[in-house]
Structure 1
Amino acid sequence: MGAAAAPRRPRDLLGGGLARQSPAGGGAVVLDGIPGNDDNAGCRDPYRRSRFRTGRRLPHAAGRLAGLSRPARHPCGVPATRRRRCHAQGYRRRRGRGQAVRASWRHLRLRLFRHPSGRMSIDACAAAVAANDPDRFACAMLAPMPRRGALMVLYAFNLEVARAPWVTAEPMIAEMRLQWWRDVLDEIAGGGPVRRHEVATPLAQVARDHALPHATMLALIDARRRDSQLEPPADIAELDLYFSETAGGLMTLATRILTDEEPEAARLMGQGSGAANYLAALPVLKETGRAPLPNGDAAATITQIAKTGLRRIDEARSLRPSVPKAALPALLTGWRAQHLLSSARARPQLALSGGLEPPEILSRATRLWRGSTGRW
């Protein structure tokens, strides 16, 4: 048998001359890009001095030799043994201490889901409202922080119910979707566990915390059955009831969250706002094959709807002294109703052609003025 091989020195394990002085022998600084350690390849200049002092933290090979359990860390903050995998999975360097953060939605989702307050579902609701109902989202941002999340959940629930008749051309499927939400409300009212859903789950907490009236929420769902029907409404009174149960009921629920009260002004203001939004959406309703107006003269019907909506708004504003100021974020969602209804009353043909929307600069000025003065 041949002579036993001489034991390898620490500097040989570390790649020879580039290590200058062996950390195991008391060296002060180790260079990056050490030959033999492929994990460092291509990350930094091989002759650039590392910012990690070896008196506390050694490269992986030297750490094993010296019996230390803590390997060196890459400048991105990830141990050398995991460096390739981390770069492949999307880690990035965080400013400050250089800790590794995985920049992926899956990681963020898991962190939010584990939050004891169920913040993930509230954030999902807020994202849906911001994308599909920007007016209510902007007004909800004026609410105090403890109530803001509840408003986002309520408005997301309204979106889910409102879109149910529009995601399918089959009335039966739309009916099944609405029935699903009726079942959710029954579970909430029963006080037991509620099925897991990104909107239904936080809605149960909001409805129980703020004692939202079960009948108002059921009426909001039942009124949406009207959207799946192709037949025209019987008369203007039927449409006025529809506005009261949808937009009026939603504004009442939002006011309940903000003030723990249900002022009549909220329902009246919601009726007027619902009428304005309905007239602005007439071209879209016609394109989908619906008959949004009662049979008869369309221009005269639009004028009558506009007059009724303006009367509801005037009635609501007459009750302004009795409405708590905290209800402003809910009532302010009807900030553009006055302009839309006045335009429809003066020129009903604009509603049929889709020309009711005010110019953007006027919309911003009106919203800013009403929000700053509190005059909804």
Structure 2
Amino acid sequence: MNGVSSSLRAAFSYCVQQVRCYDYHHYLCLLELPPNMRKAAFALRAFNVETARAMDVASDPKIGLMRLVWWQEAIDKIYANKLIEHPTAQALSSVISESKISKAWLKRLVEARINDASREATDLPESIEDLEKYAENTASTLLYMTLQAGGIRSTAVDHAASHVGKASGLLLLLKSLPYHASRNRHFSYIPAKVAAKHGLLVKEGGRSEIHLDSREGLCDAVFEIASAANAHLLKARELADAVPSEARKALLPAVPAQVLLDSLSRVQFDVFDSRLARGILGKPPLSFQLKLKWYSWRGKY
């Protein structure tokens, strides 16, 4: 970051702190990236933090939605070379001018957040495929942009990134279920078909709702979604030999996804088990960091 203005340095520092504070396992992944990808990746992840948390930090859902629309408009302004007084937007603007990040991908991510935020809590996704589409539009898209910032062009790495993003997105939705339960939104992320299959779907007043009377049913539903995530991780790793070596560190988010999958397995897929909240995704911090370093050093994901 030598040669950049003090305000831009401050903007990038803000992005790093945001990711470190709110997305720590991915913060550790980004530290493993080569410099030509790392700066862009922190700006992109900070943008993701801003949009992912918009609804959570708002006192009113309408205010959260307005914040997301603000980011949607901010993207247009950035590409029109207009100055925006927000550190993440400033860092993002710098990265876009340097790396030619695709506007369509940034818009896809924020529009996925807006569509999700606009749903009612009882407006259930129909199937796991609907959750996969959301994960593709958010988590996978972040990986595509990071790879683009590194100048990497490869069909194999795009396919692998798609699978890693879908796995990561699905698993993080599962991990967030207890949080959304406290905000009466957790039902939104259990597909209707999965809920019906495991006895969680109840029709009341002409609409379907999910009831968690059966912890066993919930664990079975979580297992089914986690199994879909596991299949994506396996597919991503099957492509490893075709993925350029310089691209593999960008796919390190597969490691925290695997850690979370393993942690869910240890608690029999009970997302309310307190052990999942310990350490980093249920794993002791030092153990997590050593695992990540080992994968990075070996050029694996």
Q: TM-score when scaled to structure 1?
A: 0.64
| 1:168 alignment partner AA | A
| Alignment deviations for residues 17-36 of structure 1 (CA, whole Å, 9 cap, x no partner) | xxxxxxxxxxxxxxxxxxxx
- How far 1:160 sits from its partner (Å)? 0.6
| Alignment counterpart, residue 235 of structure 1, candidates 119, 122, 127 | 127
1:302–1:326 Cα change, 3 Å = same
| Alignment counterpart, residue 283 of structure 2, candidates 342, 359, 365 | 359
Determine whether 1:276 maps to 2:156. no
Quick one: distance in 2 between partners of 1:207 and 1:244?
Answer: 21
| Alignment deviations for residues 264-302 of structure 1 (CA, whole Å, 9 cap, x no partner) | 211211111111222222211211211231342333321
List runs of 5+ in structure 1 lacking aligned partners: 1-111
Aligned 1:272-351 pairs, distance under 5 A: 272-290=167-185, 291=187, 292-295=189-192, 296=195, 297=198, 298-342=218-262, 344=264, 348-351=268-271
| 1:312 alignment partner AA | H
CA-based RMSD of the aligned residues comes to 2.5
| 1:119 alignment partner AA | R
| Alignment deviations for residues 289-317 of structure 1 (CA, whole Å, 9 cap, x no partner) | 11231342333321221111111111111
- How far 1:166 sits from its partner (Å)? 0.9
Contact 1:165 1:224 in 2 (8 A): no
| Alignment deviations for residues 198-256 of structure 1 (CA, whole Å, 9 cap, x no partner) | 11122112123222222221111122131464223332221111111111111221122
Quick one: distance in 2 between partners of 1:294 and 1:242?
Answer: 12
Moved more, 202-211 or 116-125: 116-125
| Alignment counterpart, residue 105 of structure 2, candidates 205, 210, 216 | 216
Quick one: distance in 2 between partners of 1:197 and 1:120?
Answer: 11
Higher relative contact order (CA 8 A, sep 6+): 2
Contact 1:129 1:156 in 2 (8 A): yes
| 2:52 alignment partner AA | A
Q: TM-score when scaled to structure 2?
A: 0.78
1:184–1:342 Cα change, 3 Å = same
| Alignment counterpart, residue 186 of structure 1, candidates 70, 76, 79 | 76
Which residue number in structure 1 is paired with residue 296 of structure 2? 371
1:349–1:306 Cα change, 3 Å = closer
1:347–1:146 Cα change, 3 Å = closer
Aligned 1:1-376 pairs, distance under 5 A: 115=5, 118-189=8-79, 191-225=80-114, 226-227=116-117, 229=119, 230-231=121-122, 232-261=124-153, 263-290=158-185, 291=187, 292-295=189-192, 296=195, 297=198, 298-342=218-262, 344=264, 348-356=268-276, 357-360=281-284, 361-376=286-301
Which residue number in structure 1 is paired with residue 207 of structure 2? none
Q: Which has the larger radius of gyration?
A: 1
